[in-house]
């Protein structure tokens, strides 16, 4: 698959069970798109700021803020979205702040479930259409809520469209439904870990998106996959050394290049390699389920980093580009 095909449509929604790395994948996709010369907007909806920190550390605001070359960040809140809606639709700029305190939004959200989600999706619609901003984005990547809330989040406009029969609210909710259900405009990429519970939830979410919600799904990202430490030739050599008692010679060779090793180090290395191999075999079973249930799966390696930063995101972007070429 060509990378430009993979990056279509304009809106790429990234979601998954909490803790599987969906924010890291969102950041990596943003870099992949920027490398293709696209003008990219990454959207956060949880106010944590994790996504923008991965892309350079600047804090995103409600209006697009440039984070790194060709990548802008937006942090969407229901309060700001409501203020903008009142200003644009009803020209209520002077009094909109009176109605958009967090307490007021909480009150009306309780009275009208799903309203906060609709306000946030409305801002994404404005970004896609290029309304009221000077930037025209080629790719919009939404770091969506965790999978449990994501289905409710994306279904909110459908519920409002069914509940309201006529008027501007009906028409605007239909715009959001069209945006989400048009495969030429929106697609959902799911992120999981190669573990039993995350994979099961991912398969259920993919089925619900396709069947109940009617939103197109793209590739599934299997995050934190253990890669083999040794290739076949290296493993054979290691086993040969261990079998014929050449460990002393190996330690001497290591010492000549300034690496201090002894038998205990090599025993620890062998034990660690065995542990990773066992983990990899367990992961392979879960990955097989994922491939069977979702089709296109992109494996992302486990990163042995104390804390993820921009260089790690760039490394994952490299992997995504290589993996997409094999789809």
**Using one digit for the tens of pLDDT, what is the confidence trace for 8-31?**
999 999 999 888 999 999 999 999
Provide the number of structural domains found in the chain. 1
* Residue with token string 């906060």: 116
Cα–Cα distance for residue pair 56/66, rounded to 1 Å: 10
In a domain, 252, yes or no: no
> Quick one: pLDDT at residue 246?
64
* Relative orientation angle of helices 147-163 and 115-129, to the nearest 10 degrees: 90
Q: Tell me, what CATH number does 85's domain have? A: 3.40.50.300
Distance (Å) of CA 14 to CA 17, 63, 293:
11, 21, 18
The whole-number pLDDT of residue 111 equals 47
Integer Cα distance of 189 and 286 in angstroms: 18
- Would you say residue 253 lies in a domain? no
User: How confident is the model over 167-214, as pLDDT tens digits?
Assistant: 677 888 889 999 999 999 999 999 999 999 999 999 999 999 988 889
Give the pLDDT of residue 73.
92
137: DSSP letter: -
| Count of positions (residues) in the chain | 327
Residue 263 lies in a domain: no
What are the tokens at 109?
A: 């959200």
251 within domain boundaries = no
Low-confidence ranges of the chain (pLDDT < 50): 111
Q: Is residue 80 part of a domain?
A: yes
Rounded to whole angstroms, the Cα distance separating 78 from 218 reads 27
At 106, is the secondary structure helix, strand, or coil? Answer: helix
Q: What is the model's pLDDT at position 62? A: 83
Strands (E), the chain: 11-16, 40-44, 65-68, 71-75, 139-143, 186-192, 217-225, 297-301
The per-residue pLDDT for 168 is 72
d(CA 303, CA 236) in angstroms, rounded, equals 25
Read off the DSSP letter of residue 210. I
Sign of the Cα torsion 288, 290, 296, 299 reads negative
Give the residue carrying structure tokens 């996709």: 29
Residue at 216 is within a domain:
yes
The strand pair at 217-225 and 297-301 is best described as parallel
End-to-end CA gap in the chain: 5
- Residue 262 counted as domain residue: no
48: domain range?
3-227+295-324
In a domain, 160, yes or no: yes
- Asked whether the beta carbons of 307 and 300 are under 8 A apart, the reply is no
Helix (H) or strand (E) holding 208: helix 196-208
Query: Can you read off the two tokens belonging to residue 1?
Result: 């698959």
CA distance 190 to 13: 8
């Amino acid at each position: 698959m060509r990378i430009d095909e993979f990056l279509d449509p304009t809106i790429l929604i990234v979601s998954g069970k909490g803790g599987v790395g969906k924010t890291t994948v969102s950041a990596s996709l943003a870099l992949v798109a920027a490398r293709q010369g696209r003008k990219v907007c990454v959207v956060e909806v949880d106010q944590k700021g994790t996504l923008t920190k991965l892309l350079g550390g600047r804090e995103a605001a409600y209006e697009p803020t440039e984070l790194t070359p060709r990548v802008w960040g937006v942090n969407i809140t229901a309060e700001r979205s409501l203020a903008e809606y009142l200003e644009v639709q009803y020209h209520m700029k002077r009094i909109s702040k009176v109605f958009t305190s967090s307490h007021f939004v909480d009150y009306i959200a309780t009275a009208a479930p799903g309203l906060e989600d609709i306000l946030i999706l409305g801002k994404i619609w404005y970004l896609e259409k290029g309304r009221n901003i000077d930037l025209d984005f080629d790719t919009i990547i939404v770091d969506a809520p965790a999978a449990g809330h994501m289905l409710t989040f994306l279904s909110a406009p459908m519920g409002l469209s069914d509940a309201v029969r006529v008027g501007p609210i009906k028409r605007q909710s239909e715009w959001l439904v069209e945006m989400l259900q048009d495969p030429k405009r929106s697609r959902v990429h799911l992120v999981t870990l190669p573990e039993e519970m995350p994979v099961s939830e991912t398969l259920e979410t993919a089925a619900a998106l396709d069947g109940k919600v009617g939103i197109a799904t793209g590739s599934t990202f299997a995050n934190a996959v253990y890669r083999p430490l040794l290739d076949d030739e290296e493993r054979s050599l290691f086993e040969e050394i261990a079998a014929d008692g050449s460990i002393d010679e190996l330690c001497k060779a290591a010492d000549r290049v300034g690496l201090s090793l002894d038998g205990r180090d090599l025993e620890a290395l062998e034990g660690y390699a065995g542990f990773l191999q066992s983990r990899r075999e367990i992961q392979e079973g879960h990955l097989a389920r994922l491939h069977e249930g979702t089709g296109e799966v992109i494996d992302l390696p486990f990163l042995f980093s104390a804390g993820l930063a921009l260089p790690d995101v760039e490394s994952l972007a490299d992997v995504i580009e290589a993996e997409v070429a094999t789809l």
